[in-house]
Amino acid sequence: MTAISAEGRTRPAGQALVALGLAAGPVVALGFTRFAYALLLPPMHRELPWSYADHGLRRWRAGRG
């Protein structure tokens, strides 16, 4: 299905939806990652001699790359 713009050119009607769908993938993955880290933080806190501030700093550094 195509739509005709004011200039007379045709473009797919669902182009914006495809772009939004592709952009949503990394957002969802990042959400799952943050949720998983929150579940792992208490066992890590018990096992490692780091404070929550140390965990946060290490997570921040890992997120930066």
10-44 confidence digits (pLDDT tens): 567 678 888 888 999 998 998 888 888 888 888 88
Cα dihedral 18, 23, 24, 25 sign: positive
Q: Higher confidence at residue 16 or residue 65? A: 16
Determine the Cα–Cα distance for residues 19 and 16; give it in Å rounded to an integer. 5
Which residues, in sequence order, are CB contacts of 10 under 8 Å at separation 6+?
2, 3, 4
- Copy the structure tokens of residue 33: 């990652």
Query: pTM here?
Result: 0.47
Residue 13's identity, in one-letter code, is A
Q: What is the mean pLDDT of residues 37-64?
A: 85
